[in-house]
Amino acid sequence: MNKPLRRVAIFSGLLILALLIRVNWVQFVQAEELQSDKHNRRVAIERYSVPRGDIIVDGKAITGSTTTDSGDFKYKRTYKNGEMWAPVTGYASQAFGADKLENLFDGILTGNDDRLFFSRTIDMFTGEEQTGGQVVTTLNSKAQKAAFEGLGNKKGAVAAINPSTGAILALASAPSYDPSDIAGMGTKDQENYQKLLKDPDRPMNNRPLRETFFPGSTFKVVTAAAALEHGLIDDIDAKTDTPAPYFLPNTRTELKNDGPHPTCENGSLREALRVSCNTVFGKIGAELGRDKLVETAEKFGFNNAEIDTPVRAGRSNVSTEMDKPQTALSAIGQFETAATPLQMAMVAAAVANDGKLMKPYMVDQLQAPNLNVVEQTSPEEMSRPLSPENAQKLQSAMETVVENGTGTAARIPGVTVGGKTGTAQRGVDNSEKPYAWFISYAKTDEGSPVAVAVVVEDSDAARGDVSGGGLAAPIAEDVMRAVLGK
């Protein structure tokens, strides 16, 4: 071979080698990156080329799929009672991707998860159309309906869980939206999405899991738990040395009660919960000190940035840099204290479950298209904020709140109910309507099957009529009744 031909052959060989290296690099090194690239339309085409698997509540699908003529996408997601279930399902949109359970379990729902390889292989040999698997939730449809309808035109949220397992029974948010309205690629879907983003009421926000609110007096349950656990109080019926008026430590700022409550002076822990004495709990917080109050709050889940349900919950906060007056304010749910509705449901659940806090979860099983179980969730203990003895003392006090205190609107005949109301001030100089809170649990001879937290962020009630007992407690009662079958 002459010299010029040899050079051409060597150059051609190098080009072929470079091509082989590049092809292997793309196939084996960049494959995952290219597959997940938002500009790779083939991934989206594949996702919507088969009927999407369903999200299941009480054995019934709350989602579906329908054929569509929108370009090269064959199927579009549909939702049943979409507004009610949006905080759970999220959305699967041809134009805007997926959110919440639709996003987290996209592989199962599209049938592309590696755990469904065997199912896909069988479909290939039998000629069956590939379909997605199912996500079986822990939600209770009756409880969810009671929560959503209870909120009605009020702005707010409800979270309900099973204290003994941590299974989430209801997650309602208002106002909400219908994911079906943004599921397609059409102009109307695009307009609906932009309208939702611009809505000042933020209907796409997941209030029960992601929004934090001042918890107000519902946080007094945490303060009471800290007082019992750290030995500041042993007898919940013993008088406390609480003066009237009570001034925040090292200040001349009076901490006032919400209304004339003469029994707050030297009031016992039970009485202070029953009528919600700021003075008693402010003094308890100051005497406990920051570190002990924060320690107990963190055992309940505060300051925990990684509570995955599997949808990640927002971080509830108790300041770790408080001085003594600020600690007194935090003890009554003010200062920088903030909590999600799920977090406050966890507080009620831990008390109801004799001091054991279970990790909240909303997915029971992942199933293959043939209904074989791919993954099963097992209840998991998260922490023990209270000893059983102290939890039972706190149960007794919370039950007094419902029997003849601020929470009587949550009574259920024949059922033991414990609760705590809260009305959280907000705005400069308390200029905005307060948040109305209620946390509770229901207890039967078989145990405590439900704990609930309700927050009403805004309503058409007059400012003077905003209270946890008046606005939030009746919603909690309906949810508990639904779970109990009453």
Question: Which residues form the catalytic set?
Answer: 217
Report d(CA 296, CA 384) in Å as an integer. 9
Q: Both ends of the chain: CA-CA distance in Å? A: 95
Q: How far is CA 53 from CA 77, 108, 339, 436, in A?
A: 10, 7, 34, 39
Report d(CA 140, CA 144) in Å as an integer. 6
Count of Cβ atoms closer than 10 Å to residue 159 Cβ: 34
Count of Cβ atoms closer than 10 Å to residue 20 Cβ: 10
Q: Kindly state the tokens that stand for 466.
A: 């905003």
Quick one: 2 exposed, middle or buried, by C-beta within 10 A (0-12, 13-18, 19+)?
Answer: exposed
Q: Kindly state the tokens that stand for 92.
A: 């699967």
Q: Kindly state the tokens that stand for 181.
A: 């309205």
